[in-house]
A and B are shown apart, each in its own frame.
Chain A
Amino acid sequence: MQSQSCHPSAHPGSAARWCILSLLAAMPFAIPAQAQEISAYRVGKVITMDDRDSVINSAVVLVKDGKIQQVGKASQVNVPDGVQVIEMPQCWLVPGFVELHCHEAGASTDLHDYVYLTNPDLRTLESVNPGTENFKLARAGGVTTALLISGSGTNMSGLGTAVKFGDGLVEDLVVKFPASIKIAQAGNPERYWFRVGRSFMNYNLRQTLQEAKDYDQAWDDFEAGKTEEQPLFSPTFDAFRDLFSGKFIASMHTQQYQVVMMTLMLVHKQFGIKTVLDHSTFDGYKTAPLVIEGQDVITINGPRQLYFDGTQRKIFGNAARWWQGGIPKLGINTDSPVIPQEELSYQAAMACYYGWTTYEAIRGLTRIGAEALQLEDRVGSLKPGMDADFAIWSGDPIDPRSVCWMTVIDGKIVRDAREGMRRF
């Protein structure tokens, strides 16, 4: 497993960062022995979520060394002799869900670190705690990858870690670090103990980003030979260099129209940061034209799925309204533990109840999250060469009646509910 941020070509001088990175790079990333084998899954339907939106009925998925080797019609895939075929001919095989807003991949209440109003260099990597009950239940909900992020109690609260809900040590599970920076633009930080308001938060955010940008520019100039004096290393601002170069996203805690609009204007437009609109609830959907204009902005709606618009006396589905507004990339999140991690697909069910559509919602649970994390070459869809991360459901994975019978991560079965009692 190779972390995207593990390239040794990263910026010299960033000693603190190098420390972590070399640690990650040195880790063996052991692939479990079971995954070395070839295995085959014979199912009733595969939703590949590939570029052509292929849905294959009566299909076989062939897995080798933890990767997808082949996906196709059962009649067209040659299963090598001696390979164990898992027969679930009534079931659907769906890419593992990607949760983009999770606070629970570490300790169960790892929400807020109210120490400083701004502590962008706080690292969720240090609190990943595999094997908790939450890991098991995430698998029971077909969730295979999650972005563990800091809480929204402070304005800039730290660097997020993309992990898989597999078995193993932290280094086996981390897919990308840093995978995001968490910025909270209103709402929760207003409860910070000296009660900051929105103007201050925007001011604080602008100042911090400007300082980071200046730092980045100073290093760029130095590295390009434009300046001779090496800038002073800053552990706080160093991670921002990859943020400005687009290697990871800003997870923006945004809610209403005004807040989403400020996020888009300030973070995305002014500083050119790859932006994911987390929550994006209440009447935030009214900024859809700005999001479309922003092109690479991704919206992940949740955990609020409905908005009561008093002016029209109507209940709107947030996801439906974003979608109707024409935005191309819409995902779904739980904000676990606000909504339990295993209920990610039920969030999509709610989005559909209030007006979205099933296929798009499945895309929102899988591919959109992978694209936001820039891991679309590894997870979020089922194509040869991709990580073998998927779940086998008794039917439509969004239907709360459907059972997630089996979850596979990196080719290894991490949940098999066909025998014994199911927690979920």
Chain B
Amino acid sequence: MMAMGMVRLRMLFVGLLIGVMAAPALAQPRRGRRGEQPPPTPPSAPAPPAEEEEIEEERWFAVTGGIVHTVSGPVLDGATILCRNGRVFAIGNNLQVPEDAESVDATGLHVYPGLVAVRSSGIHSGSSPEDGTDVYSFNMSLALAAGITTAVSGDVAAKLTYGTLDDMIVRRNLFESLSWSSRDPGGKRRVREGLDRVRQYLRDVAAWEEDKRRNPDAKEPDNKWIRGQYESYLKLLKGDAVAVIDANNAHELLQYCELADTYGIRMVVRGAYEAWAVAPRMSRAGMAAIITPRQRVDEDPQFNRPTGSTIENARILHDHGMRVAVTPVGSLFGPGYSISLGGLAGRDLLHLALEAAFAVRGGLSNDDAVRTVTIDAARILGIDDRVGSIEIGKDADFVITDGDLLHYMTLARWTVVNGRVAYDKEKEGIYSHIRPDGDVNAPPPDDYWPRRLGEDWHKPAPSSGQP
């Protein structure tokens, strides 16, 4: 929280400076791509703080003409999204785009908020993404091509800031882990004992604070032991953190529900393939779920309760008022939250949106399914103030697609992160040969391969000029 606060403060400060300095600059005509359009009226800004630092130039970015799926609000056909310094500045139909703004023309295309991968590996580097991430990595481009603009790496939500280390971190310390092995019969008891001890400590502190008013010599409860797991319990009990647990079957889920109720802990469950069977209970316990709609676990006849997975899981949880995010199913070549070029396509982060499509098969509406990979995913991570929908003031993260996000032939044309084009299908080239400009019958690229000995090899080179 500290770090995030500092980042925020710094950004706010820069923002203020820029807001002020932009005014005189905008008053003069400038050369730009969109020279025919007059600049917008600059926003009113508070008085500038005295500062001698070098002033950064304002960075304007616009997406024009697209079908804008704000996700948190209506679909705006043909609206312009104007962004300043990486944040959405204005959305509307008659916006004037500053002449020096970088812009992409999304006419006929769909604009969605950038997707949020609630779990990932292989995009950023572990738990300190800003220190080791290769911002030019192939995996990052692939994930951007899949529309992902924010991914959880370790316990950090980080942006896919292609080509720059700026503004990568969205939030650290997303979750406290809280779990025990289902094979350890004493596991839950130990967790409960730990929570009891910390809860007693919190009561002691409250009593001490009361006592202190009358008795200046009242002794503060010992807190030296509150480290490690106990520190984590303290955050959870105070409501400063959310617990993430890995639990799948109904029995395990009920155990965690009981814990959540008893101690007032907020929980996010990963896995949860049997959540449909205990959805009302989970909903009462205030749980959110990160699930894989098409996860397949067969019924187990050895139980006298409903067992196994169902494609309707996402829909049932949603109907019970639970927040649901979606993560892909995985394959022989890796878990669903990885990026795999092994070839078993459609089961990793490269097709995150299509995993949400399976939730529609299970009865969720198209719009709600889109939310499982955008705003609801952001809410589960506690970063919905920054990402997950297209709203004024939120980060300028978009995926601009050539069709409905959940359709199986939709590709990203551009992906925008922090108001910068981070992926351009045509320039990047990985997928540029697939349906260029929507043409399903576009000719394939050449092979650079001697198809058969004796064919191409012996063809005389084409003579130049003379017939």
Contacts and interface: CB of A to CB of B under 8 A. Distances in A.
Interface of A: 133, 137, 257, 281-283, 286, 289-290, 303-308, 311-318, 320-321, 324, 338-340, 342-343, 346-347, 349-350, 352-355, 357-358, 398-403, 421-424
B444 A324 contact: yes
Given A286-B447, A400-B408, A422 B435 contact: no
Contacts of B406: 401
Interface string B240-264: 0000000000000000000000000
B345 A399 contact: no
Contact of B312 (A133, A402, A422): A422
A423 B434 contact: no
B299 interface: yes
A320 B308 CA distance: 36
Interface in B125-139: none
Classify the secondary structure of A's interface with B. mixed
B345 A423 contact: no
A399 B407 contact: yes
Interface stretch (B147-155, B168-176, B425-433): B425-433
A411 to B, nearest CB: 26
A338 B298 contact: no
Please provide the 4 A-B residue pairs with the shortest distance between their CB atoms, ordered closest to farther: A304-B343, A401-B360, A349-B408, A305-B345
A313 B435 CA distance: 17
Q: Which of B343, B435, B443, B452 gathers most chain A CB within 10 Å?
A: B343
A133 B294 contact: no
Interface string B394-408: 000000000000111
Interface stretch (B19-27, B181-189, B223-231, B350-358): B350-358
Q: Which of B308, B309, B358 gathers most chain A CB within 10 Å?
A: B358
B457 interface: no
B408 A352 contact: yes
A304 B342 contact: yes
Q: Is the interface on chain B under 10, 10 to 19, 20 to 34, or 35 or more residues?
A: 35 or more
Contacts of B357: 399-401
Nearest to B346: A350
B440 interface: yes
Contacts of A283: 449
A304 B345 contact: yes
Given A304-B342, A346-B346, A354-B345, A317 B434 contact: yes
A423 B343 contact: no
Contact of A401 (B296, B366, B449, B451): B366
B448 interface: yes
B343 A306 contact: yes
Nearest to B341: A308
Nearest to B298: A133
Contact of B345 (A133, A282, A306): A306
B309 A353 contact: no
B341 A355 contact: no
A421 B274 CA distance: 13
A352 B440 CA distance: 10
Interface in B403-442: 406-409, 411, 429-435, 440
Contacts of B298: 133
Interface string B315-327: 0000000000000
Nearest to A321: B444
A346 B294 CA distance: 11
Given A290-B452, A321-B444, A403 B361 contact: yes
B451 A286 contact: yes
Contact of A304 (B344, B407, B444): B344
Given A313-B429, A399-B408, A289 B435 contact: no
B434 A402 contact: no
B362 interface: yes
B311 interface: yes
Contacts of B449: 257, 283, 286
A312 B435 contact: no
B310 interface: yes
Interface in B257-313: 276, 294, 296, 298-299, 308-312
Interface string B357-382: 11011100010010000000000000
B430 A315 contact: yes
B332 interface: yes
A314 B445 CA distance: 10
A307 B430 contact: no
Q: Which of B296, B299, B345, B447 gathers most chain A CB within 10 Å?
A: B345
A349 B310 contact: no
Nearest to A338: B332
Contact of B344 (A289, A338, A399, A424): A338
A423 B310 contact: yes
A337 to B, nearest CB: 10
Contacts of B342: 304
Contacts of B445: 312, 314
A328 to B, nearest CB: 17
A342 B311 CA distance: 12
B434 A281 contact: no
A310 to B, nearest CB: 10
Contact of B409 (A305, A353, A401): A353
A304 B332 CA distance: 11
Contacts of B408: 349-350, 352-353, 398-400
B432 to A, nearest CB: 8
A311 B429 CA distance: 13
Contacts of A133: 298-299
Given A133-B299, A320-B434, A352 B409 contact: yes
Contacts of A281: 343
A422 B293 CA distance: 12
A315 B344 CA distance: 13
15 contacts: A303-B343, A338-B332, A343-B294, A350-B345, A353-B346, A355-B435, A399-B407, A400-B294, A400-B358, A400-B408, A401-B358, A402-B361, A421-B310, A423-B309, A423-B311
B409 A306 contact: no
A303 B254 CA distance: 38
A342 B361 CA distance: 13
B431 to A, nearest CB: 6
Contact of A424 (B311, B343, B432): B311
Nearest to A424: B311
A350 B344 CA distance: 9
Nearest to B430: A315
